[in-house]
Structure 1
Amino acid sequence: MPIHSLTSHTTILLFLLLLISSPITKTIAENSHVINFYSPNLYPESLAWDPTKQHFLVGSLRHRTISSISDAGIVETLISDTSLPENVTVEGITVDSRNNRVLAVIHAVKPLPPFNALAAYDLKSGNRIFLSALPANEEEALANDVAADYNGNAYVTNSIGNYIWKVNAKGEASIFSKSPRFTEHSVDPDTLYSFIGLNGIAYVSSGDYLLVVQSNTGKLFKVDADDGTARHVLISKDLTYPDGVVLRSDGVVLVVSPQVNKLWLLKSNNGWGEGVVYDEIDLESEGYPTSVVSRGRDKMYVLYGYFMEGLLGNSEREGFRIEEIRSPKESEGENVWLYVMIGFGMVYFVYWRFQMGQLVKSMNKKIN
């Protein structure tokens, strides 16, 4: 094959590569999964993923229920516990797959009498396994989020008291960690929700520790799951009103904030002695995104439960949504591999054309 012919084919292929790269990038960015679901006055604050049944679970501000949400947006009531005090809120929830349970933090919002508890339910039947009252040292407490370790222990954050409860597999509750690290950072009392301290929590099985965010300071803490000692994790920037936290299977920590409508992706290469915010994703302001989950290795879903609207007294909403969020930086990495594969294909195509040209020349010589 003549050199100019090879150059011509290469130029055409490079042009096609540039031509298709933009649509591919656009498709990766835009083709996210959005699940719209409808349940009157549900106002869910919490979101969990059940890997066994492959559906989402949500709590409720108004109902004493935990509902399952399919990919098609079909809502089914998994748990309805009418024995709980009326008008309590189902706050943080998590799926304890190893023990076939779903754990739910129960809290009574003022002006209701104080009530803070952890409920455990059988994941298949929905039957309650235990309801554990969470002991408090002060008049006010706000049980918020929950994480579970592989031994069946649950860890619940107290946002007002700035400590962590522990509930063992039998349902026995105790105050687990009141580390001075949780109160060593100053808080401006005039800021919005200055009373919300420890909030989202995740368990890291590889090191047997917890990662906890503090909303009013933006700090991240690493807490030993054995003795409750804590240390402040140095990260590249403080987070603004962090709320929900989840650990992805690849070690990336996801943190969401409904106050500034952000999703942060954090990494650490030294077991969370320190970390870095390597991506910051803007979320929609409508919907008040309070919770994030990881589905599979790297899929991320955020809950738009309009929770603040519900707290302010609105009782008319029926529609809510769960939306897949994609990281532009991680998508760029996917595109690099795509370009590499196309490049290999281009080289192979040019080589094949060259070989075919040589074969044709050889055959022509034989015929002549």
Structure 2
Amino acid sequence: MSIHSSKHALTTYASIFLFLLIEISTPIKVIAGDPHFISFRSPNLYPEGLAWDPTKQHFLTGSFHHRTISSISDAGVVQTLISDSSLPENVTVLGLAVDSRNNRVLAAIHAVQPLPPFNALAAYDLKSGQRLFLSLLPSDEHAIANDVAVDFNGNAYVTNSIGNFIWKVNAKGEASIFSKSPRFTEHPVDRDTPYSFCGLNGIAYVSSGGYLLVGQSNTGKMFKVDAEDGTARHVLLNEDLTAPDGVVLRSDGVVLVVSPEVNKLWFLKSNSGWNEGVVYDKIDLDDEGYPTSVVARERDKAYVLYGYFSEGVLGNSERESFRIEEVRSPKESEDENVWIYVMIGFGLVYFLYWRFQMGQLVKNMDKKIN
């Protein structure tokens, strides 16, 4: 091999290496572009709950005024997935949970006063839209069936925001009061807040430990509830949350909690199986839209629902436009950027070392040729 050929090969290899380095870093910038914004239109919908269907790759929402569950695509196309006219008139479809293993969606149903009391869990087949069961939730006092989570066995857990307890509905639709732990009522409530009436609210199932994480709106506390026997303990956090509503667990173990009262989203993590945890980041949300629910989809991307639910409660029936927005942790984004630069740095170091070695190789080959 001639000197010219050796140098040409070295230059070619270097060009290929730099090209690959640029190509590796470019997609990361694309992924970290502007957050996804979905605007959708549906007259008088006023959704409170949001769920993600990983099979069909679309969002699901309920409605304050309609006995419906709607699907919403990434492009904002709305379709009525389920319309259940057999439900009592004017009931509200609140929390939703997708049970992918059984191909169904679970919906907490509540009748807002002054309507006759009605609290139930409805299960619908995601493919046909057929109702699988409607389970009335037992209570001797005023109740609000608010949010729902589901475990891998198809058991559903529904929060009662007034009675501060949790119902359980098994895969067959049999309902019972599951947890009335005294932990739920041991913390003081500020009766001057507009959300003082609302106790247990958002709920998520942690499959790795077999327990539930439940937020309590009027105290700002979070509880860890054993999914077998219903025993509960207070999760010690480095700060209380203000009027927490929707709760979601990401696949990496991070918990996101949203509050429509203070327009805030918290990012929480724990190294102790949620005996205690820390709020490691929080972001301000848009103060218009009343964000009540948060979901996680593929690659742990998080989305918040702006359903203007408070307008619906106050009797507004004229709104048509609602939205779903992707939300990100600034601290996580900073960490990702640091790792990108670290990896590029390692790549450059490796490249320089490789170039030095190739230079030595070329010199040795030239000596042999000469």
* Shorter-chain TM-score above 0.5: yes
- Give the equivalent residue in structure 2 for 1:323: 325
CA shift, 1:366, in A, is 9.9
Question: Identical aligned pairs, as a percentage?
Answer: 81
What residue identity is the alignment partner of 1:77? Answer: T
Q: Counterparts in 2 of 1:206-221, with a 5 A limit?
A: 206-221=208-223
**Partners in 2 of 1:334 and 1:114 — Cα distance?**
49
- Give the equivalent residue in structure 1 for 2:105: 102
What residue identity is the alignment partner of 2:125? Answer: D
SS at match of 2:303: strand
The range that moved more, 238-247 or 263-272, is 263-272
CA shift, 1:188, in A, is 1.5
8 Å Cα contact 1:249/1:296 also seen in 2: no
What residue identity is the alignment partner of 1:339? Answer: Y
Cα-to-partner distance string for 1:37-65 (whole Å, 9 max, x where unaligned): 11111111000011111111011111110
Cα-to-partner distance string for 1:43-89 (whole Å, 9 max, x where unaligned): 11000011111111011111110011111111111100011111111
Q: Counterparts in 2 of 1:138-217, with a 5 A limit?
A: 138=141, 140-217=142-219
Q: Mind listing any 5+ residue stretches in structure 1 that lack a counterpart?
A: 1-22
- Give the equivalent residue in structure 2 for 1:32: 35
**Partners in 2 of 1:154 and 1:123 — Cα distance?**
16
- Give the equivalent residue in structure 2 for 1:119: 122
**Partners in 2 of 1:283 and 1:30 — Cα distance?**
19
CA shift, 1:361, in A, is 7.5
- Give the equivalent residue in structure 1 for 2:250: 248
**Partners in 2 of 1:98 and 1:363 — Cα distance?**
63
| RMSD of Structure 2 on Structure 1 (CA) | 2.1
Query: In 2 relative to 1, CA 351–193 (structure 1 residues): closer, same or farther, beyond 3 Å?
Result: same
Cα-to-partner distance string for 1:248-276 (whole Å, 9 max, x where unaligned): 11111111101111111111111111111
CA shift, 1:193, in A, is 1.3
What residue identity is the alignment partner of 1:33? Answer: H
**Partners in 1 of 2:40 and 2:108 — Cα distance?**
23
SS at match of 1:284: coil
- Give the equivalent residue in structure 2 for 1:292: 294
The range that moved more, 259-268 or 23-32, is 23-32
What residue identity is the alignment partner of 1:137? Answer: D
Q: What is the TM-score normalised by the length of structure 2?
A: 0.88
- Give the equivalent residue in structure 1 for 2:60: 57
Query: In 2 relative to 1, CA 249–366 (structure 1 residues): closer, same or farther, beyond 3 Å?
Result: closer
8 Å Cα contact 1:300/1:324 also seen in 2: yes
Aligned residues: 345
Query: In 2 relative to 1, CA 181–367 (structure 1 residues): closer, same or farther, beyond 3 Å?
Result: closer
Cα-to-partner distance string for 1:150-204 (whole Å, 9 max, x where unaligned): 1111111000000111111111111111111100111121111100000001111
- Give the equivalent residue in structure 1 for 2:239: 237
Q: What is the TM-score normalised by the length of structure 1?
A: 0.88
Query: In 2 relative to 1, CA 81–330 (structure 1 residues): closer, same or farther, beyond 3 Å?
Result: same
**Partners in 2 of 1:349 and 1:268 — Cα distance?**
39
Query: In 2 relative to 1, CA 160–353 (structure 1 residues): closer, same or farther, beyond 3 Å?
Result: same
Q: Kindly report structure 1 stretches of 4+ aligned residues shifted beyond 3 Å.
A: 23-30, 348-368
- Give the equivalent residue in structure 2 for 1:312: 314
Query: In 2 relative to 1, CA 208–360 (structure 1 residues): closer, same or farther, beyond 3 Å?
Result: closer
SS at match of 1:281: strand
**2:228 aligned to 214, 226, 236, which one?**
226
